[in-house]
Amino acid sequence: MTSIQNAVEDEFGDVDRLAIYNLLPSTSPSAVLPLGAIVAIKEPYYKRTADGGLFVRVDHPTDFVPLKPGNSIIPSSLAARITKKSTSALRLKECGNSAFKSGDFETAADFYSDALEVAGQGEDELKQDLHRNRAAANLRIGRYDLAITDALASLLPPGNTSETTRSVNIKALYRAGKAAYEMQDFNQAKRYFDQALELDGGHKEARAEIARTVKRISEQENGHYNFVVMAKSATMQHSQLDHSSFLRRTKVSQTDNRGRGLFSTERLVPGDIVFVEKAFNVAHRDGENISVLLNLNTDRISLGTHNLRLYGTIDKIIWNPTFAKNYLDLFDGGKFKREEEPKVIDGRVIVDTFQVQSIAELNGFGCPRVKSRDESDTNEKSLDHETSTGIWLQASYANHSCLPNVTRAFIGDMMIVHAVRDIPAGGEIFMGYLSPDIPFAERTKRLNDHYGFRCHCDLCQAEAEVPKVAVEKRARLSKEIKLFLSTNRLNSNDIGMIPGAKKARARQLLVEIRETYPKALFEQLPRLQCVEIGLWVAQSAMVKPQYALGKFIDVLRDLGYFVTIKGRNVTVDRRGAVQRVHAVHAAMYAAQCLAAIGNEGAALALESFGKGVFIAISGSEDGFAVEFGRS
Ligand SMILES: [Zn+2]
């Protein structure tokens, strides 16, 4: 909804308003449209304004190109107004250095580029300095591809062994290493740091960077993370974590009828890490500001962080062809022209904002501000939408199922994905785009409207056959249950005092809602609307542990876990399992009941099962003992 605007004049003296959209909110208007600047606009068009006038509208940031004096496409009448200052490359370099010192890295990079343009023959040393300095500036403003190219262009021939040569080459290699690290290309980063260290074994920074890079490589190859430490390190201020992705157990392949999909490369059992992925981009709410994205192509408006995600992604891919290629390879809905390689002009990737947005809409994930199941986050969650949104490239390839075989959790910008069920080597990995709690008809409509497909998972197939009268009855009962639960909150201290009539009412509601799931259809499937009332019934019966135990096992069955207890042995069949915190509650209470009746062995087994579900939905066991430890 917001744009940067100014008045512009063409070569005939006609004046119009110009509005540039889809720039990061932090962009300074005077930096984009400074007074007297000459700009080119590709494919300009007029848009009517609210006040009845017209303006020239730019939607795609690379459709707007500032022109430097001397550019041959500037009409002569305009060219006459600006004079090309003849400044030496050395002077421009000094301007760049002073901009760099004042923290204006973008301007610094511009000065170095100007200097490189005017630097003549015989100024090789100066050119190398300029490339090296521009590498440092590019590194600071996230233009990593360019930073590496510049760093390598600045390297002096290795034959020259003078102290100065050595010292500047170390700087260049160090910068190339840092840029490769930021691009998550850790093996390449390590090679650059190693080369820097070869030139000076005592280089402390390079040594520290190698130690850090080796950790990233180990995460990437072995999936060795300390998730508890990771969870403790994530905070509101620090949610972009210094970790790498572990993707070795998955690969992207073609499916029979769903386009591309994500597949496992090895056999996985429940609780196994399937993959761990660092976000491509995450957008968090901007303080109290309300952000609105108006999509003129789909006539949709979204509140929240979608616009920040869009601008952040554009900003990231415009200057990094490698990132652009990875991002633009995702499914965009099929309405856009696709290039094999991103088109790059003057170092910038030509970006279609609408394609970037379409990809984000089809592939984005809602995520918590800091981490999954973060208690401090509950206030914001009550707004009924996730507080942040992001893009995880590998996860984007997973197709949807209402009964996914993996569960995702978030710690900072890391997505941690665990297996729910057995997944054979080569088996397809399914994630949930929408919660199976959403009633079938609405879920089907939303999947179709937003993603353009119909789900054929076991749950949807069963739901499609439920008689209409049962569907209506379930909807009505769900409302009654919600009301009952909100007016009858359980307090563990006075469970023995609950009036019998209330307990009877709860049991009645549970029996009735279970009946809305026809036995023949749901024999192996979860019955999610029974879970919360089921937990209430079970908890309110805790004074009779043997009886309550059966009720908790029923709750687990409603969640799709078929639990059998034989003596001290517990087996859990997860064929219909849906991973929810309710499963942790039910398992831990069932363990308490088992302990109360003297079956400590089965109690421990159920506790360990509950802990497994907790880890899958939280990303780590951090907080488990505090929340669920047996008192
Ligand atoms: Zn489904």
> How far is ligand 1, taken at its centre, from the CA of residue 461, in Å?
7
Judged against a pLDDT cut of 90, whether residue 234 lies above it is answered with: yes
Task: Measure 462 CA to ligand 1 centroid, in angstroms.
Answer: 9
What DSSP assignment string belongs to 131-192?
Answer: HHHHHHHHHHTT-HHHHHHHHHHTPPPTT---HHHHHHHHHHHHHHHHHHHHTT-HHHHHHH
Strand, coil or helix: what is 287?
Answer: coil
Residue 384 pLDDT level (bands cut at 50, 70, 90): very low
Question: How far does residue 92's CA lie from ligand 1's centre (Å)?
Answer: 61
Q: Rounded to the nearest whole angstrom, what is the distance from the C-alpha of residue 396 to the centroid of ligand 1?
A: 18
d(CA 587, CA 564): 12
- 129 burial class (0-12, 13-18, 19+ CB within 10 angstroms)? buried
Bridge partners, 530 (sequence order)? none
Rounded to whole angstroms, what are the CA distances from 436 to 69, 251, 378, 525? 59, 26, 21, 12
More confident residue, 492 or 542: 542
> How many angstroms is it from 370 CA to the middle of ligand 1?
29
Residue 382 CB neighbours (<10 A): 8
User: Ligand 1 mean position to 413 CA, how many Å?
Assistant: 28
Query: Distance, CA 596 to ligand 1 centroid (Å)?
Result: 40
CA of 621 to the centre of ligand 1 (A): 30
Percent of the residues in the chain that have a pLDDT greater than 90, as a whole number: 75
**Residues 529 and 478 sit within 8 Å (Cβ to Cβ):** yes
User: Rounded to the nearest whole angstrom, what is the distance from the C-alpha of residue 384 to the centroid of ligand 1?
Assistant: 22
pLDDT of residue 175: 97
Greater model confidence, 92 or 305: 92
Tokens of 332: 């965009």
Residues 544, 560: Cα–Cα separation, whole Å: 25
Q: How far is the CA of 430 from the centre of ligand 1 (A)?
A: 11
Query: What does the pLDDT read at residue 382?
Result: 39
CA–centroid distance, 526 to ligand 1, in Å, is: 12
Classify domain 227-461 at the CATH superfamily level: SET domain (2.170.270.10)
Q: Is the pLDDT of residue 118 over 70?
A: yes
Residues 194-205 pLDDT 10s: 999 999 888 899
User: How many residues are listed for the chain in this entry?
Assistant: 631
Give the pairing of strands 399-400 and 428-431.
parallel
**Ligand 1 centroid, distance to 197 Cα (angstroms):** 54
Q: Please state, in angstroms and rounded to a whole number, the distance separating the CA atoms of residues 441 and 475.
A: 11
Domains 155-222 and 227-461 share a fold: no
Tens of pLDDT along 468-510?
Answer: 999 999 999 999 999 999 999 988 778 888 899 999 999 999 9
Distance, in Å, from the CA atom of 587 to the CA atom of 619, rounded to the nearest integer, reads: 18
Please name the residue that has the structure tokens 């937003």: 450
Distance 465 CA to ligand 1 centre (A): 13
CA of 432 to the centre of ligand 1 (A): 9
Mean local confidence (pLDDT), 210-215: 96
Across the chain, mean pLDDT equals 92
- Predicted confidence at residue 502, as pLDDT, reads 94
What is the per-residue pLDDT for 423? 97
Choose the most confident range, by mean pLDDT, from 3-12, 18-27, 142-151.
Answer: 142-151
Ligand 1 centroid to residue 558 C-alpha, Å = 17
- Separation of CA 460 and ligand 1 centre (Å): 4
The residue-averaged pLDDT of 332-339 equals 88
Residue 631 has pLDDT above 70, yes or no: no
Lowest mean pLDDT among 20-29, 189-198, 265-274, 584-593: 20-29
Whether residue 269 contacts residue 419, with contact meaning beta carbons closer than 8 Å, is answered with yes
Predicted confidence at residue 190, as pLDDT, reads: 97
Kindly give the distance from the C-alpha atom of residue 469 to the centroid of ligand 1, in angstroms, as a whole number: 21
Q: Ligand 1: distance of its center to the CA of 263 in Å? A: 19
Backbone angles phi, psi at 74, to 5 degrees: -75, 125
More confident residue, 233 or 380: 233
- Residue 161 or 297, more confident: 297
- Residue 573 Cα to ligand 1 midpoint, Å, equals 20
Mean local confidence (pLDDT), 414-430: 97
Q: How far is the CA of 419 from the centre of ligand 1 (A)?
A: 18
State the distance from the centre of ligand 1 to the C-alpha of 443, rounded, in angstroms. 8
**Cα(518) to centroid(ligand 1), Å:** 17
Span from the CA of 527 to the centroid of ligand 1 (angstroms)? 14
How many angstroms does the Cα of residue 401 sit away from the middle of ligand 1?
5
**Burial letters 184-207, b for 16+ CB under 10 A, else e:** bbbebbbbbbebbbebeeebeebe
In the predicted model, what is the mean pLDDT of residues 520-527? Answer: 96
Structure confidence at residue 386 (pLDDT): 56
Query: Where is 559: in which H helix or E strand?
Result: none
State pLDDT tens for residues 52-82: 899 999 999 899 998 888 888 999 888 888 7
Give me the numbers of helices (H) and strands (E) for the chain, helices first please. Answer: 25, 22
CA 110 / ligand 1 centre spacing (Å): 52
Annotated domain spans of the chain: 3-79, 155-222, 227-461, 467-516+526-628
- Non-local (6+) Cβ contacts of 461 within 8 A are none
| 3-state SS assignment for residue 473 | helix
Mean pLDDT of 323-341: 92
- The closest of 531, 517, 510, 519 to 587, measured between CA atoms, is 531
Separation of CA 433 and ligand 1 centre (Å): 10
| Separation of CA 424 from chain center | 27
- Measured in angstroms, how far is the CA atom of residue 369 from the centroid of ligand 1? 28
If 0-12 CB within 10 Å is exposed, 13-18 middle and 19+ buried, where does residue 155 land?
middle
Stretch among 25-29, 50-54, 115-119, 406-410 having the lowest mean pLDDT = 25-29
Predicted local confidence at residue 258, as pLDDT: 87
Condensed to tens digits (0 to 9), the pLDDT of residues 572-591 reads 999 999 999 999 999 999 99
CA 260 to centroid of ligand 1, rounded, Å: 18
Q: Look up the CATH architecture of domain 155-222.
A: Alpha Horseshoe (1.25)
User: How many other CB atoms sit within 10 Å of the CB of residue 66?
Assistant: 14
Q: 525: CA distance to ligand 1 center in Å? A: 12
Distance 574 CA to ligand 1 centre (A): 17
- 3-class SS of residue 269: coil
Share of the chain above pLDDT 70, in %: 96
Assess whether pLDDT exceeds 80 at residue 555. yes
pLDDT above 90 (res 162): no
Q: Tell me the mean pLDDT in the region 524-537.
A: 97
386 CA to middle of ligand 1, Å? 22
- DSSP string covering 60-79, please? SGGGEEEE-TT-TTS-HHHH
Residue 34 has pLDDT above 80, yes or no: yes
Reported as a pLDDT band with limits 50, 70 and 90, residue 619 is very high
User: Can you give the pLDDT at residue 307?
Assistant: 86
Distance 456 CA to ligand 1 centre (A): 5
pLDDT at 84: 65
As a whole number of Å, the CA-based R_g of the chain is 30
**222 C-alpha to ligand 1 centroid (Å):** 33
Rounded to the nearest angstrom, the distance between the alpha carbon of 403 and the centre of ligand 1 is 7
Supply angle C-alpha 121, 126, 131, rounded to 5: 110
Distance 266 CA to ligand 1 centre (A): 25
Distance 398 CA to ligand 1 centre (A): 14
DSSP secondary structure code for residue 371 in this structure: B
